[in-house]
């Protein structure tokens, strides 16, 4: 054979393989409003940056007449490319090939590209669109999942791992996304569950649609399994590209720096956003915007446990992780879900060298039987653990209420915040004035001729004396009480001088956090 | 992203009074919080399904005397035949299930007195 015929043979083989499951299957995929696996990769990566490997991999299954079937690329595409000019490894399951089912060679392709990502120290992105295990391959498909989960676990905190759910992701398959850093889902396209509606119906007789059981909205709002919710695949890819402007390429690097810009103080002026009355609501995200570069804020898990806000912003051009109580929702209380949400984000930032800025304004932990029985003790402890363990620069701003356990948990001086600032409106005390006065002056109130008047007087006295930042400042628990319009200045300086912060934790294999 | 949450929690909801400890705050109440189920004190005389499944056998009838530990029913769930035992000596006051019935978790199956 001549070089030319060998080349044309290669081209023929490639064009066959690239067709995936064929025109009919592609048509079906498109009719569901979905892009094909290859289109998705091309849309997500920088233009012309994608290089594919293992295109000619074939499955090795013999049982159930599988040896007579040819599955293009065994239902998954792997390769490398760039996003915002930085290298990434990527795989995308191809639903048009045997429903994107995961067999042994399919899994081998995924683990191969994951191993590459770990060696090259670059992020791994997985696009999930699969009916699940390839039943014909039996225990080998289970082995495949297990090998993926093991690599997800070892890669955790070393390279960023992104899961994009763009189709079904059911049964064991859901655990790979759950082990990764960020899960992206798209309305009406993404579905994630351990047992699907059919199993639930046959076992329980309960009927539920896939969307209501494990659609994007459910996971973004109710379960917290999804970090980002989008209404289209394109919007989802834009979210991923934006996320990658905030995170470093691996745990030995820092995220990209951008030119610094002042906040848009015309739209976001602290004194206009912030009410001094501790019972009045405001949107804490606007406080973030009032101090961040160009008033930018990229929120994570914005729909779930909205009583705490987490996300990325830039200060002086560099990424900072934000954790902020949200007085707009449930008065900003801590509870099971908000503790989980914040704790994991803190650990993410700590793993990837992202300094933490904590904005504090909370009445405390949410009282209730449901919370206690849901294990708020264990969940709340995650927050203490995550903050204590984090060695990145930690800066805390106490805006208004910081009572009791909530004060300690929100990156207090005692959990080794590097700098704790407080506004003059801050109230730092062991508990709220009414509760404290009722306990401390119980006898005097009970013995008074007019208990209500005495109670009110004692509450007012307590408020006057203790509901302020100066007692805590007198002990040095607050480093500076600052004016509202000085906030950005103080935080920028604190970040700047913390750049070479180094803390050595005691030697250990790993801690035992209250998972 | 941020825009969507704002739409969700600012446009669709009114501020409400929300008590935490001794203070009342103006805030929005999340749907998850509104949807939570009130706590019910468990009644030891009522036996609830501890797992969703199918009743495959009932060995007692209304008015029967049962001894502590006696297997009153079989509840098949997750490929296991689970024994539903009498928690104390008593009399069957009522049976709320039939053989073949699928029960959800916490479904009242039997009541003793």
Same domain, B56 and B18: no
Two tokens, residue A118: 């770990």
Between CA A185 and CA A188 the distance in angstroms is 9
Q: What integer is the mean pLDDT of A364-387?
A: 94
Residue B10, pLDDT > 80, answer no
The reply to whether the predicted model has a pTM over 0.90 is yes
Q: What CATH class has A11-245?
A: alpha beta
Query: The domain containing residue B8 runs over which residues?
Result: 2-34
Chain center to CA of A489: 28
Q: What is the pLDDT of residue B11?
A: 56
Q: What is the pLDDT of residue A357?
A: 98
CATH architecture of A270-430+468-497: Alpha-Beta Complex (3.90)
Same domain, B8 and B30: yes
CA distance A387 to chain B (A): 24
What's the whole-number average pLDDT of chain A? 95
Of the listed ranges A357-366, A408-417, B21-30, the least confidently predicted one is B21-30
Same domain, B106 and B52: yes
Q: By C-alpha distance, which of B43, B49, B93 is closest to B73? A: B49
Which residues on B lie below 8 Å from A434 (Cβ)?
21-23
- Please answer whether residues A441 and A448 qualify as being in contact, where contact means their C-beta atoms are separated by less than 8 angstroms: no
CA distance A205 to chain B (A): 7
Residue A52, pLDDT > 90, answer yes
Between CA A318 and CA A37 the distance in angstroms is 34
Residue located via tokens 């356990």: A405
- Please answer whether residues A77 and A45 qualify as being in contact, where contact means their C-beta atoms are separated by less than 8 angstroms: no
B75, part of any domain: yes
The rounded percent of chain B whose pLDDT value lies above 90 is: 61
| Residue B1 confidence class, pLDDT cut points 50, 70, 90 | very low
Q: Count CB neighbours of B35 within 10 A.
A: 8
Two tokens, residue A272: 């206009």
Subunit contact A281:B27, Cβ cutoff 8 A? yes
Same domain, B30 and B55: no
- Please answer whether residues A433 and A467 qualify as being in contact, where contact means their C-beta atoms are separated by less than 8 angstroms: yes
Between CA A317 and CA A259 the distance in angstroms is 5
Q: What is the pLDDT of residue B22?
A: 79
Q: Which of 242-281 (A) contact B at CB < 8 A?
A: 278-281
- Which of A204, A241, A405 should be substituted to probe chain B, the one whose Cβ sees the most B Cβ atoms within 10 Å? A204
Subunit contact B28:A330, Cβ cutoff 8 A? yes
Two tokens, residue A235: 């919007």
Same domain, B56 and B100: yes
Subunit contact B25:A366, Cβ cutoff 8 A? no
* pLDDT per residue as tens digits for the range A384-443: 999 999 999 999 999 999 999 999 999 999 999 999 999 999 999 888 888 888 899 999
- Which of B19, B20, B33 should be substituted to probe chain A, the one whose Cβ sees the most A Cβ atoms within 10 Å? B20
Q: What are phi and psi of A3, to 5 degrees?
A: -60, -40
Q: What is the pLDDT of residue A428?
A: 94
Which residues on A lie below 8 Å from B21 (Cβ)?
363-364, 367, 431-432, 434-435
Chain center to CA of B39: 10
Chain B contact for A461 (CB, 8 A cutoff): no
Same domain, B65 and B95: yes
Same domain, B56 and B94: yes
Q: What integer is the mean pLDDT of A466-491?
A: 96
Domain count, chain B: 2
* pLDDT per residue as tens digits for the range A15-43: 999 999 999 999 999 999 999 999 999 99
The rounded percent of chain B whose pLDDT value lies above 70 is: 89
The rounded percent of chain A whose pLDDT value lies above 70 is: 100
Residue B3, pLDDT > 70, answer no
Same domain, B77 and B100: yes
Which residues lie below 8 Å from residue A115, measured CB to CB, with a gap of 6+?
A151
Q: What integer is the mean pLDDT of B41-53?
A: 92
Same domain, B51 and B90: yes
Residue B4, pLDDT > 60, answer no
Same domain, B50 and B88: yes
B40, part of any domain: no
Q: What is the pLDDT of residue B2?
A: 42
CA distance A305 to chain B (A): 8
Q: Is the dihedral of CA A185, A187, A190, A194 positive or negative?
A: positive
* pLDDT per residue as tens digits for the range A205-245: 788 999 999 999 999 999 999 999 999 999 999 999 999 99
Which residues on A lie below 8 Å from B9 (Cβ)?
306, 328-329
Q: Count CB neighbours of A440 within 10 A.
A: 12
More confident residue, B22 or A447: A447
Give the C-alpha distances (Å, rounded to integers) separating B96 from A376, B52, B103, B109.
35, 15, 10, 5
B80, part of any domain: yes
Q: What is the pLDDT of residue A463?
A: 87
Same fold yes or no, A11-245 and A270-430+468-497: yes
Subunit contact A205:B102, Cβ cutoff 8 A? yes
CA distance B13 to chain A (A): 10
Q: By C-alpha distance, which of A484, A482, A442 is closest to A462? A: A442
- Please answer whether residues A418 and A496 qualify as being in contact, where contact means their C-beta atoms are separated by less than 8 angstroms: no
**CATH (domain of B99):** 2.40.50.100
Q: What integer is the mean pLDDT of A454-468?
A: 90
Same domain, B50 and B29: no
DSSP states of A420-445: EEE-TT-EEESS-HHHHHHHHTHHHH
Which residues on B lie below 8 Å from A203 (Cβ)?
52-53, 77, 102
DSSP states of A46-69: PTT--EEE-TT------GGGGGG-
B39, part of any domain: no
- Please answer whether residues A123 and A162 qualify as being in contact, where contact means their C-beta atoms are separated by less than 8 angstroms: yes
Query: What are the extents of the domains in chain A?
Result: 11-245, 270-430+468-497, 433-466
Same domain, B67 and B14: no
- Please answer whether residues A399 and A426 qualify as being in contact, where contact means their C-beta atoms are separated by less than 8 angstroms: yes
Q: What integer is the mean pLDDT of A179-187?
A: 98
């Amino acid at each position: 054979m001549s070089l030319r015929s060998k080349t044309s043979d290669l081209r023929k083989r490639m064009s066959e393989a690239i067709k995936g499951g064929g025109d009919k299957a592609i048509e079906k995929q498109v009719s569901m409003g979905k892009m094909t696996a290859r289109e998705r990769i091309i849309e997500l990566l920088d233009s012309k940056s994608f290089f594919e490997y293992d295109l000619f991999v074939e499955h090795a299954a013999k049982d159930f007449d599988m040896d007579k079937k040819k599955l293009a690329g065994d239902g998954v595409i792997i390769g490398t490319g760039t996003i915002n000019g930085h290298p990434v490894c990527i795989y995308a399951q191809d639903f048009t090939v045997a429903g994107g089912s995961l067999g042994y060679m399919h899994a081998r392709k995924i683990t191969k590209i994951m191993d590459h990502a770990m060696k090259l120290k670059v992020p791994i992105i997985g696009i999930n669109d699969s009916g699940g295990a390839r039943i014909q391959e039996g225990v080998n498909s289970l082995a495949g999942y297990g090998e993926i989960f093991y690599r997800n676990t070892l890669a955790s905190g070393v390279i960023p791992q992104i899961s994009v759910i763009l189709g079904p992701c059911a049964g064991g398959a859901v655990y790979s996304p759950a082990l990764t850093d960020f899960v992206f889902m798209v309305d009406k396209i993404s579905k994630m569950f351990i047992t699907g509606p059919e199993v639930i119906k046959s076992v329980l007789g309960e009927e539920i649609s896939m969307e209501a059981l494990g659609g994007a909205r459910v996971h973004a709002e109710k379960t917290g399994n999804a970090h980002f919710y989008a209404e289209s695949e394109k919007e989802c890819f834009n979210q991923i590209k934006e996320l990658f402007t905030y995170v470093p390429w691996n745990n030995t690097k820092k995220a990209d720096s951008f030119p610094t810009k002042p906040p848009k103080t015309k739209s976001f002026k602290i004194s206009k956003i912030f009410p001094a009355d501790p019972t009045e609501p405001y949107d804490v995200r606007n406080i973030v915007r009032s101090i961040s570069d160009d008033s930018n804020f990229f929120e994570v898990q914005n729909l779930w446990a909205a009583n705490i806000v987490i996300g990325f912003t830039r200060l002086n051009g560099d990424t900072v992780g934000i954790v902020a109580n949200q007085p707009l929702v449930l008065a900003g209380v801590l509870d099971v879900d908000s503790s989980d949400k914040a704790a994991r984000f803190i650990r993410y930032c700590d793993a990837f060298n992202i300094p933490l800025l904590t904005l504090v304004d909370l009445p405390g932990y949410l009282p209730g039987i449901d919370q206690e029985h849901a294990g708020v003790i264990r969940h709340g402890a995650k927050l203490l653990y995550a903050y204590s363990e984090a060695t990145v620069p930690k800066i805390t701003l106490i805006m208004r209420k910081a009572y009791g356990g909530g004060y300690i948990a929100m990156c207090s001086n005692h959990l080794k915040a590097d700098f704790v600032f407080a506004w003059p409106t801050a109230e730092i005390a062991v508990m709220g004035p009414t509760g404290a006065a009722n306990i401390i002056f119980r006898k005097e109130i009970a013995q008074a001729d007019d208990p209500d008047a005495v109670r009110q007087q004692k509450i007012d006295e307590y408020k006057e004396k203790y509901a302020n930042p100066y007692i805590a400042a007198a002990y040095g628990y607050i480093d500076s009480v600052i004016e509202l319009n000085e906030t950005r200045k103080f935080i920028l300086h604190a970040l700047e001088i913390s750049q070479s912060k180094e803390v050595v934790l005691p030697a250990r294999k790993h801690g035992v956090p209250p998972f | 992203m941020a825009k969507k949450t704002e739409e969700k929690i600012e446009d669709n909801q009114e501020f409400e009074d929300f008590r935490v400890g001794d203070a009342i705050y103006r805030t929005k109440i999340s749907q998850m919080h509104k949807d939570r189920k009130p706590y019910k004190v468990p009644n030891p005389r009522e036996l609830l399904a501890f797992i969703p499944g199918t009743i495959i056998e009932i060995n007692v009838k209304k008015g029967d005397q049962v001894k502590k530990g006696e297997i009153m029913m079989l509840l098949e769930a997750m490929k296991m035949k689970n024994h539903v035992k009498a928690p104390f000596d008593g009399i069957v006051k009522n049976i709320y299930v039939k053989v073949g019935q699928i029960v959800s978790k916490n479904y009242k199956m039997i009541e003793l007195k």
